[in-house]
Structure 1
Amino acid sequence: MWRNIASNALTLFILILIVGVGMIAWGKREFTQAGPLEQAICLKVDRGSSFSRLSSKLDELGAISYPQIFRIGVEYSEKSSLLKAGSFLVPEGASMEEITDIVTRGGASTCGTEILYRVGVLNAVMQVRELDPATQKYKVTAEFKPSELEGNAPDRYQTMRDESDTRFRIAVAEGVTSWQVVESLKGADFLTGDIAELPQEGSLAPDSYELKAGSDRSELIAAMSNAQARILADAWENRIDGLPYANAEEALVMASIVEKETGLAEERRQVASVFVNRLNKGMRLQTDPTVIYGITKGQGALGRGLRQSELRRETPYNTYVIDALPPTPIANPGRAAIEAALNPDSTEYLFFVADGTGGHAFATTLKEHNANVAKWREIEAQRANQ
């Protein structure tokens, strides 16, 4: 009898063991395989939340099938104390393991609300944007220009500015001047601190900068300056031979001229080649943007055409009169313009003029150039009569 009892007990133990091993294997499979989420979502995790509350929320959103398995899996992977607050993009079909990684890895929120401040050549625009998880595209829900603001900012902006999981970003366009950057940053009320002095022209790297609410303006300027110094140093190190620059600073001046002369990426190296060829031949650059900078000092757009008297007046920035580069950059050039100035195309071009399509017509002789100018004036006349 005892033998039968022992045999039955052993059999039961083996069955329990088999079931236990099977349950563990099933749970592990459920934790790692693709989940039931049919469409990407933006998952908001509040400060002070727990995996227990999060598992219930995920269950309600249809992102997981078994909340208990999710909690056990989190414990087993030793991540139960690593939950981060924020808004996180959870992709379609994400497994419980992937979701765990998303909400514990840290870093900035990956979806939800973003306040984007676009600092452009003509104006600076503040936008409140929401990421649509399904399309991965942003939708602007509020927009205004701080410089034109009368009274308070839109309610939507004020509300989202104070939310803990709102992300902040400043996008500085290529070709803005240092004065424009500093003046625009004064309109970003989510930043703090003052900028003690105007940064040197050309010393700030146009780019997109992720920030936190309360970031210091002077620290942002320092980051932009350090980035530009690295970009210029790398490009100078990889420059081609035979360039007419005494140092990297002169290359930066050239890059700023290239930046202001063309907005087409495919033209930058051609435009740079024209100016390099002219310098190598001892010709004047004869470029309008430098003359304009001499008038405005980079403090906004001229807002009109250049006068003949301005083209004849001798100033350090009038390249129709001076025989070399102007003394400083005329804007903050981007990486592509800097690289173009230090690696221009190999051409014999000495002239260029607008061609009516947004680009330029290039020429090697004055006769060719005059013909291109005549075509451009014809286009201008036709547009004026429309």
Structure 2
Amino acid sequence: MDRRPTIADVAKRAGVSRSSVSFALNDRPGLAEETKRRILAAAQELGWRPSRPAQALSRGVAGALGLVLARDTAAIGADPFFPAFIAGIESVLARRGDALVLHVTEPADEEATYRRLAADRRVDGVLLTDLRVDDPRPALTRELGLPAVVVGDPGGAGGLCAVGLDDRPAFAAAVRQLAALGHRRIAHVAGPQEFRHARRRRESWELAMREAGLPEGPVLPGGFTAAGGAHATRELLSLAPDRRPTAVIYANDLSATAGLAVAQRLGLTVPGDLSVVGYDDTPLAEYTHPPLASARADALGWGAAAVRALDEVIAKGRADDVALPPAELVRRGSMGPAPGAGAGDTEADAPAPSTTTVRSETPC
């Protein structure tokens, strides 16, 4: 055929009515088994496939989920977290032929975007990422009757189902190991503090420093970007020797990778002069020089889990919060003894493997 086969073509090939074809393809009762087999054989011979939009329309659903990102497009393109997260979403949707409707918008247009999605019934539900302090979106989706799941901690979910993980074990492990390696000045390059997850990572670092009995080192904004991480690192390394950090824990891998490069361009060795730790454990982390220590958060699995939770909300009206396995430190070559630390004062005398995953004992 020179065109895509239709349900009418299947009916003609099988010698039945179109309603009989619909009954057979939707596995509804009322047809003789022989008739059903003939219809299915005709559909296979013609290469007919059901139309997802038509199926969705017949069921009164859109067959799509929504994801609205109120971020600069360049920032999204450079951040390795989102491609992995979206791949996790698609790993569930692609198997059933559903779609992801992705909108990248300005913060000022965010509310209008959700209202259009709800009014046009383009999606069956939405995933809320990058939750902000006092974020209006949980209340907005309730007002619109739009099923939603928060990707993050339940504290700001406004009663919606939240799919999140605990950052604290990874930061505790990083600070604990750096302290054991002789580090006393451990700085933090933070993400934008309007985001709840960036604020939570900073608080996790602060708590870990207190638990290790260390004074809080300097904190500078990095903005989750390479440029921000590079700028913050230059400022940290320009401090007086008695204030300059010997280790830096970054809020994500993108800023950490930039910081590692800046340190090396300034003539410092990593980890000889400066230890560097990132967050997200993106695929690039193990290929930097030296390989970047990072906290593994499994963005791919996070995306898949968020879709399954949203499916439950759409089907049942609610779902319980989902606690994913906590982030865990992956120790690599960018972590080493503090400058001048004696081998007897650190764990450096026991050679560490190039990659070691430190698992938390915190239950999921």
Q: TM-score, normalised by structure 1?
A: 0.32
Structure (1 or 2) with the larger CA radius of gyration: 1
Flag the structure with more relative contact order, 1 or 2, with Cα contacts below 8 A and sequence separation at least 6: 2
